[in-house]
Amino acid sequence: MLPSLSLAALLQSRLLEILKSEEANGSSLHIYTVGDFIVAFEKSAYWLSRIVPECGTAVMRFASLPFPVIMASTAASDVSRVKSLFASDGEHEGRMTFRTDEIPRDKYMKWHDEKAFEGEKVRK
């Protein structure tokens, strides 16, 4: 398991890097250790929520970004569930990466919009 960062430290030091990685992500799950938890963002959060349906999700809004960021989190012990399903591409720069199936864009976008706007009325 990777050394742990605080969530604030992870977001402060790596948010833009994480978002660029997730934007290009087609078939990977990237997870980060934060205390006793693992966290994933955007497309990786989609996969983590599929593997661990009881994981928590959070919508984060940053003044510097024009869109909401979705984060999924679960107990660090749940990494064993990830490892049982997907091959590891290793640990690099504080991130564990696993090879997944291709992320279905339509399902991901629907999931993202549902999470991002949960509880809000969608204007038509």
pLDDT tens-digit profile of 63-119? 999 999 999 999 999 999 999 999 999 988 779 999 999 999 999 999 999 999 886
- Of 100, 122, 123, give the one whose Cα is nearest residue 47: 100
- Specify the pTM: 0.90
C-alpha 55: how far from chain center: 11
Percent of the chain with pLDDT over 70: 92
